[in-house]
Amino acid sequence: MLKGRIHSIETMAAVDGPGLRFAVFFQGCPQRCIYCHNPDTWNVLGGEEMTAEEIVKKAVRYKSYFGETGGVTVTGGEPFMQSEFLIELLKKCKEENIHTAVDTCGFYLDDKVKEALSYTDLVMLDIKHTNKESFEKITKQDISRPLAFLDYMKETQKPIWIRQVIVPTLTDSEEQILDLLKLIEGANVKKIELLPYHTLGSSKWEELGLTYELPDISPPTEEIMAKLREIVKNNFKH
């Protein structure tokens, strides 16, 4: 039976999508974001093996907490890196009538990913930066892949949430937020979440013997966050 490599499960997550979520963290990510707070998910061979059945069986126990809006969120890492397993997991969730969300960096787009998306009710997409050079600096990857993924979102009109981590000196300018709004024009965007960068993951880097590349950057101030959220509020057209 097909097994997935799972980093961890959080049974009552409040910040990983609408309502209360059963969050499944997949192992494996093709990006190497300089502020990643889950570098321990990077290795696709890490974590523990689980079947989709095992995971969904656990999730079903929390169904009564999901209410109208909650459900299962698959995050990571990058869930589409294990797209075949993801298909199985999402399919089983839908059989149980559970709302499904996938939190992604938009790196992959092939037939398997498209099939997984057909069982996904909500995509939470985090394109780390709108500018090619800055994107590369942050992720060590090329921006063309997430742009292709975003195009597919526009084409299919899949409901999406856009998430953007606000990192001082990298993504905290008014211009960046306006560029982001422009980039997502035409997509079926239900919500834009600006998430303040935090340094909580930096100790994991040390534990893994990695050098944290943003040691001197402090989280954005409340004032900056409020200003950027105001820009979204004033310029985001549903």
Where does this chain bind ligand SF4 (CB under 6 A)?
29, 31-33, 36, 38, 41, 76-78, 105
Pairing of strands 21-26, 3-13: antiparallel
Residue 34 and residue 213 in contact, taking contact as beta carbons nearer than 8 Å? yes
Terminal alpha carbon distance of the chain: 43
Shorter beta-carbon distance to ligand SF4: residue 17 or 77: 77
Rounded Cα distance, 219 and 228, in Å: 14
Shorter beta-carbon distance to ligand SF4: residue 90 or 127: 127
Shorter beta-carbon distance to ligand SF4: residue 170 or 231: 170
Shorter beta-carbon distance to ligand SF4: residue 98 or 105: 105
CB of 225 to ligand SF4, least distance (A): 19
Residue of 73, 185, 197 whose CA lies nearest to 128: 197
CB of 129 to ligand SF4, least distance (A): 11
Within 13 Å, how many C-alpha atoms sit on residue 216's CB side? 1
Strand (E) or helix (H) holding 184: none
CB of 233 to ligand SF4, least distance (A): 25
CB of 46 to ligand SF4, least distance (A): 12
CB of 63 to ligand SF4, least distance (A): 28
Extract the tokens encoding 109. Answer: 């787009």
Shorter beta-carbon distance to ligand SF4: residue 44 or 183: 44
Indicate the SS3 state at residue 125. strand
DSSP 185: T
